Structure 1
Amino acid sequence: MRTPVVYPFSAVVGMDDMRLALLLNAVSPAVGGVLVRGEKGTAKSTAVRALAAVLPPVDVVPGCRFGCDPAVPDPACPDGPHPADGPAAQRPARLVELPVGASEDRLVGSLDIERALTEGVKSFEPGLLAAAHRGVLYVDEVNLLHDHLVDLLLDAAALGRAYVEREGVSVQHAARFLLVGTMNPEEGELRPQLLDRFGLTVEVAAPRDAGLRAEVVRRRFAADADPTGFEARWAAEERSLADRIAAARDLLPSVVLGDAALAQVTAVCAAFGVDGLRADIVTARAAIAHAAWSGRTDVTEDDVRVAARLALPHRRRRNPFDAPGLDEDTLEQALDDARPDPDDDPTPPEGRGPEDGAPTDDSPADGPSADSPSADDSSSDDGEGALPPRSGPQSGDGDPSPPTGKGDEQPDGDEEQPAGVAPERPAVAPDAAFRARRLEVPGIGAGVAGRRSKARSERGRVVGSTRPTGTVTRLHLVDTVVAAAPHQRERGRTGPGLRLARTDLRQAELEGREGNLVLFVLDASGSMGSRTRVAAVKGAVLSLLTDAYQRRDKVGLVTFRGAGAELALPPTWSVEAAAARLTDLPTGGRSPIAAGLLRAHETLRVERVRDPRRRPLLVVVTDGRATGERGTDHLAHAHRAAGLLHAAGTASVVVDCESGYVKLGLAHTLGMHLGGQTLRLEELGDLVQNVKAAA
C-alpha cells in the first residue's frame, strides 16, 4: 500500500490571504489561530495539512507523552518532573485533526476514575490537546463541532493549558498549538462569541480565471500520477519556506511596535466599532508577525493594513445573519486619520519608513507569491454547486408605501384565477426581528447536543444514575457510596476509609438540551393579507430562525402557494440560507395547505433515515384557509395530511396568522388535527404592536 504524500504548501495555487494568515500564525502562534471560511473544493484542507510539513522541527523530552520542551519543561507535566537541560530528541511538528464527532474525553484526555477510587492510582490518558502541543490542531467543519467542545478548545488555545477535572481528581498540562478551523458557511455559522476567539479569519473561493483553474487541475493530476516526484519538484521551495518561517520566528522578539503604528491599530479598531479589546490585541500581534515575516524590525502602516484585513472582518457582525466583511474606504480613512502630520514632526515616527509608513525594504509584504498556486482538496472539500455566502435580511418596515385603504388589506382575488395560476406579488422585506419564545419537542430525547428540547446528554444536571457498562466518565458519587456502604464489614473495613469494588461504581445520568430539526411550513398564498401583514409574518419567522441559530438547530423551509408546495430549503445547518430564502419569497395565489403538509411529511420521512437521533419540530405558519380548484374540499384534504404527520409522531406548532375582526379559527382546527400547539402570531414575542397595526 502506497504511503500518502502530503501536497506541498508551496504548490498551492492562489489563495494568498489564506496562505498568509496560516504563515503569520506559524511565525507567531500568539496571534490566536485561523478560521478559513469558504465553499466546497477550495483547497482549505489541502493547505492546512500542507502547513505542518514546513514548520520547523521541535525538541522534546524523550518519552514524554505531552511533548515537553527539554529547555523549559512543564513543571506540572503528568509525565514529569523533567530535569532542566536534560536529554532531548527532535521530531517534526505534528498536525493533529479533531473529528467533528469527538467526545470531551477524546479532546482533553480522560482519567481512569475506577483505578483512582479503588486503587488510589492517578491514571491519565492524554487527549488530542496534548498531542497537538507545539504543533497544529486542525478542526475541519468547526461550525459543526459541539459548542462545549469549541469552548474547551478555544479556552485551551487562549490559556496555553488544558485542564481535566473529575470528582476531585485534577490534571493539567501545557497545550500551546496553532489552531486552524475550516468551515463551509452554507452548513451553518459559528456563534459570534466563538468567531471572536479566532485570531484571524479569511474567506476563500475558487478562482474565476480559467488559466488558474487549469493550473489547479494540472498540478492535481501531476500529484496524483507521481506523488513522490511531485513532492521532489517542490522540495526546494518547501525548504526555502521553512527557512523563512524559522528566520521570522527568530526575528519576532526584536520587532518593535512603535507608538505611531499602535495608534493606527487602535484607530482602525475604533473606526469599525468592534466589541471589546481583543481585536486591538490580535491586530497588533498580527502586524508584528507580518513585520517579522517581511524581514523588518519595525511595524509599518502596511503591516497594520494587512493585519486589519485579516483580524477585523469577522468581528464586525452585529447579528447572526450579518456577513463578515471590511469596508476598504473606512480602513484607509482610519489609517489616514491616525497618520502623523509630517509638518508637525519632521522626524519619521518609530516603526515608520521615510515615505509615510511604506515598507523600507524590498521584502515581500504578502505571503507566498501568486504564482505559487494551489490545488483543490479532492479528499474533503470536493464538490460543486455551492451557494455563495449571502448576507442576512435587514430590518425594515416591509414597504415604503403604507396601506392606502381597505382594499389594500384584502387578500388577492385568487378564486378568479385559472387553476394553477398564482398571481405573484414582489417579495416583501421582513419586519424587525424580536426575541422569540422557545418552542420545544415534548418528552426526553437523546439527540445531538443543543439548546432547545430536553434530552439525555453528556452535559447538564444530574437526574439519576446507572451501573456502568464500560469506562466510568461521570461518577455519581453519592449513589456509589450508598451502593458500597452495606458491604464494608464483609470487606474487612476497620478504619475511616471506604472500601470500593467495581460493582459499587455508578455512572451519573445527565439531562441537558438537544438540537432539533425545525422545519418551517410557510403559507405564501394571497390569503395571508396585505403587504404590511406579510412583512410582520416574515419578521416573526425570521425571529424563530434567529432562535434556531442560537439553539444550534438544523432548519428547513417548505412553502406553498398557487398550484402546490416547494421545498425551498432542504434541511441544513445554514440558518443564514433560510433567512435569505425568506427575504426573497414572493407571495400570492391560492392556499394548497394539504400540498405543503404532504411535502413536509415526505421531507421528515427522509430526514429520519439520514439523521435518526435528531427529533423534528414542525412549525406551520398559516391562517388556515385552504383554497384551490373549485369543487374540492380543500380543508378535508389539509386535515387528512395533518393526520399523517400526527400519526408519525411529529411534534408541531401552528402559528395562527389570521387577521381581521371576524376570525374563523381555521388554524386552530388545523393544529388540533396535527396534535400540536396553536399560537397566535402575537404570542411569539414582542411583535404585538406591529401585528395589531397590520390587523
Structure 2
Amino acid sequence: MFPFSAVVGHDDLRLALLLNAVHPGIGGVLVRGEKGTAKSTIVRALAALLPELDVSRDCRFGCVPGTTDCPDAPHEGVQRRPAKLVELPVGATEDRLVGSLDLEKALTEGVRAFQPGLLAAAHRGVLYVDEVNLLHDHLVDLLLDAAAMGRAHVEREGVSISHAAQFLLVGTMNPEEGELRPQLLDRFGLTVSVKAARDVGVRTEVIRRRLAYEAAPATFAGRWADEDARLKQQITNARANLSRVSLPDSELRRIAAVCAAFEVDGMRADLVVARTATAHAAWRGAESVEESDVEVAVRLALPHRRRRDPFDEPGIEEQQLEDAMRQAAEHAQEPDGPDDGPDDDGPDGGPDDGPGGGDLPEPQEGPAGNGNAPQDRPAPEPAPAFKARLMEVPGVGEGAPGKRSRARARTGRVVRSSTVDGTGLHLVDTLTTAAPHQAARGRTGPGLVLTGTDLRRAVREGKESNLVLFVVDASGSMAARQRMSAVSGAVISLLRDAYQRRDKVGVVTFRGSQAEVALPPTTSVDAAAARLRKMRTGGRTPLADGLLKAHRVLEVEHLRDPRKRPLVVLLTDGRATSSGLGGDPAADAIKAAGLLAQTAVVVVDCEQGHVRLGLAQKVADALRGACVRLEELSADHLAGVVRAA
C-alpha cells in the first residue's frame, strides 16, 4: 500500500482525514475532484495510521468489550486487532451492505442465522465509497439511516437484527459525473476539493515517487515507515488529549456567528465546526481551542453546506471567509445574550445578485440573410425557476434506479415472488415451498431436499431515471427577451428536478445553418447550468437539422444504455427558414419529425403575437406529441402534458 506520508500535496485532504481519525464524531470526509488525483490512494493509506482496537473475542460485529446489546453477546475475552477499511462497491447489493439470511446454515442445519454485511464489518473503522455520487439510491437510504442512528436495523426474510454501525464515512467523487443527493451530502462532516497541481516541480515529484513505488513497493514503503509511525503516534496522542481540550465560550460564539453569517441550514454545521476545531487543537497539542482552529474548521466544514441550490458553486471565497471571521470576532467578545443575527448583507458585504447578475442587452431579431453568419447574442437572464412536478414516461421500463417513472428493478424492494419473472432467488418463498414436501422426499436429517420446482424468483419494483433531451430553437425569431427568458427558466427548473430524480439531461440548440449539442446527456447540473448561460441566439431557423441532431443523440444514448427511456422537449415557434437537407425547409422539418414519432415528445409553442400561424402544432402532429403554448408553460400544465404524452 502506498504510504500516507509519501503523498505529494493535498494538504487539506490529508488534514481532514487525520482530524476524523482523531475525532470520529466529526462525521467523515467527502473528496471532490477530477480523475487521477490520488483520491483513492490517500484514503486507502489512512487505514494503516489508525490505532488498533480492543474488541470482544470472536465477535462478528467488532463490539466494544462489555457490550450487552450485540447479537453475538455474551462475549468471552478481549482481542486486539487493526481498524478496518471496508470498501462499498458502487454495484453492491442491499444484502451485501446490511447482511442477509445465512444460506448455508439455512440449507444444512435448517436454522435461521444472520450473515453480517459491510455495515457490521465497518463498525469502529472506515467505510469507503468510491464514486459515491453513482451509488444507487436504495443503498444511499440505508447508509443515511445507519449514519444517523449509529445502528443498523435489519428486518427481512424472517430475521430481526439490530447491531452497532458507527463508522468513519469517506466518499470520493468526480463532479463531472453528477452531483450527490443533498441528504447524503449533509452527512459528510467535511468536504475537500482536490485537483492536480499545475506546478511542473510538483508533478515531477509525483511521477518520481509513483515510479519508485511500482519498481520496489516494500523498499519504498520502508523509506516512509518512520514518518507514518510518527503520524500514527500523533493520532494516538491527539485522541488521548481530546477530552482535555476546552472550548471557550468566546470561540463557541465565534463558531455560531460564522455559521449564521453563511446562512447554513440547521445546526449540524455548528456542531461539526466545533468538533473539528476541538480535534485540530488536540492535533496541535494545545489545551484550548483558538481562532486559528475555528478558521481551519470553517474551511473544511462549510463549503458544501453553503449550497442552497444545485446550481450554486461549492466552496468559500477567501474574501467571504475573511469578512465572516471579522464579523464573528466581534461576537466572540460579546457576553452571552440575545442576538439579532448577521447583517442582511451576508459575509460578502453586499446583497447576492446570483450568478450572471446585471442587465444584458436586449436581443434583436436576426437578419434575414443566408443564415451562414448568425448574429451571436448572449441569452437573456433566465426567468425565475419554478418547482417542477413529477413528469413520468408512460409504461413500465427497466432503466437505472431513479425517482421518476415506474420500472421493473434489478435491485430494490421485493414485492412478490414468481416462477418465471424476477431477478435473484426469493429465499423465503423457496424454502416455504419446499418445506411441506420434505417427508415425501425422504428427508431424515438436517438440510432441505430441493427440486427445480421449488425455486422462486424475487420480483422487484421501483422507479427509474430517464433521459430528458431539450431541443431549443435559438434562432433570431426566438431571440426576444421574454421568450428566451421563459425558455431558460423552464429548462433550469427541469434541470433541478432531474438532479433530484437522478435523470440524465441534454440540450440541443439550432440556429443559423445547423444544430449543435450544447450539452451532451449528463447528470451534472453544474455543467448544465453553465452551458445554458453560455447559449447564444440569432440567425435563421434550421428546424430539420435540430430534429435530426436530436435523433442522433438519442441513437447514441440508446447504444450506451438501451434501457434508459427518453423524453424530448422541443421549444420552438415552428418556423423553418433554412435546411441542411437541400429541400424546402418546412417540408424537411416534417420529414425529420417522423424519425422521432416513436419517442415521447412535448412541443412547446413559442410563437407570439395576435396572429398565429400554428406551425408548432403541425410539428407536434408530425412528432405524434402534445403541444403547449409558451405562455401556458407552468409546472402544473407541463406535468400534465408530459404524462399525457
What is the distance in 2 between the residues matched to 1:687 and 1:429? 23
- The answer to whether 1:651 aligns with 2:600 is yes
Residue of structure 2 equivalent to 1:29: 24
Verify: 1:642 aligned to 2:637, yes or no: no
Structure 1 residues 202 and 393, CA gap change in structure 2 (3 angstroms): farther
Partner of 1:418: 370
Query: Are the structure 2 counterparts of residues 679 and 393 from structure 1 closer, same or farther at C-alpha, using a change threshold of 3 Å?
Result: farther
Match of 2:172 among 174, 182, 198: 182
Instruction: Please give the residue correspondences for 1:329-368 in structure 2 after superposition, counting only pairs within 5 Å.
Output: 329-340=322-333
Per the TM alignment, residue 195 of structure 1 is displaced from its structure 2 partner at its CA by: 1.4
* Two-structure CA RMSD over aligned residues (Å): 3.2
1:69-90 superposed Cα distances (whole Å, 9 cap, x missing partner): 3x33x4333333213xx141x3
Structure 2: distance between partners of 1:229 and 1:487: 63
User: Following TM superposition, by how much is the alpha carbon of 1:306 offset from its aligned partner in structure 2, in angstroms?
Assistant: 0.9
Give the Å deviation of 1:224: 2.0
State how far apart, in whole Å, the 1-side matches of 2:224 and 2:438 are.
Answer: 69
Provide the residue aligned with 1:348 in structure 2: none
Counterpart residue number, 1:373: none
What's 1:611 paired with? 561
Structure 1 residue identity aligned to 2:15: L
Query: 1:54 maps to what in 2?
Result: 49
> Of 127, 130, 135, which residue of structure 1 is paired with 2:125?
135
Q: How does 1:285-300 map to 2 (within 5 A)?
A: 285-300=275-290
SS of alignment partner, residue 196 of structure 1: helix
Instruction: Name the residue aligned to 1:360.
Output: none
Classify 1:111/1:660 alpha carbon distance in 2 versus 1 (closer, same or farther; 3 Å). farther
Given candidates 310, 321, 326, the residue that maps to 2:311 is 321
Aligned pair 1:79/2:75, yes or no?
no
* Residues 377, 536 of structure 2: 8 Å contact kept: yes
Structure 1 residues 78 and 510: alpha-carbon distance in aligned structure 2, compared to 1, 3 A threshold: same
Give 1:241's aligned residue. Answer: 231
Per-residue CA shift, 1:405-442, capped at 9, x if unaligned?
Answer: xxx8x7423x3x13422122223221111112333221
| Matched ranges for 1:541-620 at <5 A | 541-620=491-570
**Contact map agreement 2:467 2:564 (CA 8 A) in 1:** yes
Matches within 5 A, 1:228-627: 228-326=218-316, 327-340=320-333, 394=354, 399=359, 411-413=365-367, 415=368, 417-457=369-409, 465-467=417-419, 472=425, 509-627=459-577
Matched to 1:457, the amino acid is A
Q: Over residues 179-200 of structure 1, what are the superposed CA-to-partner deviations in whole Å (9 max), with x where a residue is unaligned?
A: 1011111111112232111111
Match of 2:3 in 1: 8
Helix, strand or coil for the counterpart of 1:284? helix
> Residue deviations 1:249-279, cap 9 Å, x none?
1111222222222121112111211111111
Deviation of 1:147 (Å): 2.3
Equivalent AA in structure 2 for residue 622 of structure 1: T
Structure 1: runs of 5 or more not aligned:
1-5, 346-391, 493-498, 689-695
Which residue identity lines up with residue 678 of structure 1 in the other structure? C
**Are 2:627 and 1:678 equivalent residues in the alignment?**
yes
Instruction: Describe the shift of the 1:525–1:126 C-alpha distance in structure 2 as closer, same or farther (beyond 3 A).
Output: same
Partners in 2 of 1:149 and 1:82 — Cα distance? 31
The one of 77, 87, 107 aligned to 2:97: 107
Q: In the aligned structure 2, how far is the partner of 1:618 from the partner of 1:463?
A: 31
Q: Name the CA shift for 1:18/1:113 in 2 (closer, same or farther; >3 Å).
A: same
Shift of 1:31: 0.4
Distance 1:641 1:230, change over 3 A: same
Q: Read off the aligned partner of 2:21 and give its amino acid letter.
A: A
Aligned residue pair count = 611
Q: CA deviation at 1:677?
A: 2.7
Counterpart residue identity of residue 620, structure 1? L
Cα separation, partners in 2 of 1:684 and 1:77, compared to 1, 3 Å: farther
Please report how far the alpha carbon of residue 29 of structure 1 lies from its aligned counterpart in structure 2 after TM superposition.
Answer: 0.8
- Letter of the aligned partner of 1:99 in structure 2? P
Structure 1 Cα separation of the partners of residues 627 and 158 of structure 2: 48
What corresponds to 2:643 in structure 1?
none
**How far 1:580 moved relative to its partner?**
1.0
Once the two structures are superposed, residues 122-153 of structure 1 have per-residue CA deviations (whole angstroms, 9 ceiling, x without a partner) of 22222111121222111111111122312211
| CA pair 7-446 structure 1, distance change in 2 beyond 3 A | same
Shift of 1:283: 1.0
Distance 1:117 1:211, change over 3 A: closer
Question: Could you tell me which residue of structure 2 aligns to residue 38 of structure 1?
Answer: 33
Q: Distance in 1 between matches of 2:366 and 2:183?
A: 44
Higher relative contact order (Cα pairs below 8 Å, separated by 6+ residues): 1
Q: Which runs of 5+ in 2 are unaligned?
A: 337-351, 443-447, 638-645
CA contact (8 A) 1:248 1:293 kept: yes
Measure the CA separation in 1 of the matches of 2:322 and 2:43. Answer: 31
Q: Partner amino acid for 2:309?
A: N
CA gap of 1:597–1:471, structure 2 versus 1, over 3 A, is: closer
The C-alpha deviation readout for 1:298-321, integer Å capped at 9, x for no partner, is: 111111111111111111111111
- Residues 438 and 662 of structure 1: CA distance in aligned 2, closer, same or farther (over 3 Å): farther
Q: Deviations over 1:443-470 (max 9, x none)?
A: 1011111111111236788765413878
The one of 565, 578, 582 equivalent to 1:628 is 578
Find the aligned partners of 1:472 and 1:25 in 2 and give their Cα distance: 40
- The structure-2 alpha-carbon separation of the partners of 1:660 and 1:474, relative to structure 1 and needing over 3 Å to count, comes to farther
Seen in structure 2, the aligned counterparts of structure 1 residues 35 and 215 have a Cα distance that, compared at 3 Å, is same
Distance of 1:104 and 1:598 partners within structure 2: 42
TM-score by length of 2: 0.87
Is contact 2:147–2:187 with CA below 8 Å preserved after alignment?
no
Task: Please state whether the residue corresponding to 2:621 is helix, strand or coil.
Answer: helix
2:153 match: secondary structure: strand
Aligned to 2:609: 660
Distance in structure 2 (CA, Å) of the matches to 1:476 and 1:432:
53
Alpha-carbon spacing, 1:51–1:633, altered in 2? closer, same or farther (3 Å): same
CA contact (8 A) 2:89 2:129 kept: yes
Q: Distance in 2 between matches of 1:140 and 1:168?
A: 32
**SS of equivalent to 2:312:** coil
- Deviations for 1:487-533, whole angstroms, at most 9, x for unmatched residues? 899999xxxxxx99886786563432111121221111112141222
What secondary structure does 1:254 align onto?
coil
CA distance in 1, matches of 2:262, 2:110: 56
Relative to structure 1, is the Cα distance of residues 131 and 228 closer, same or farther in structure 2, using a 3 angstrom cutoff? same
1:214 aligns with 2:204: yes
Q: What secondary structure sits across from 1:40 in the alignment?
A: coil
Contact 2:543/2:578 (8 A) holds in 1: no
- Displacement after TM superposition at 1:236 (Å): 0.9
**Separation in structure 1 between the aligned mates of residue 414 and residue 156 of structure 2, nearest angstrom:** 15
Matches within 5 A, 1:141-180: 141-166=131-156, 169-180=159-170
1:111 CA displacement: 2.4
Cα distance, 1:296 vs structure 2? 1.6
Could you say which residue in structure 1 is the equivalent of 2:60?
65
Structure-1-length-normalised TM-score:
0.81
Indicate conservation of the 8 Å contact 1:96/1:136, yes or no.
Answer: yes
Change (3 A) 1:447 1:500: farther
Determine the C-alpha separation between the residues in 1 that align with 2:542 and 2:458. 49
- 1:610 maps to amino acid: R
Matched with 2:344 is none
- Classify the secondary structure of the residue corresponding to 1:546: helix
Aligned partners of 1:558 and 1:596 also within 8 Å: yes
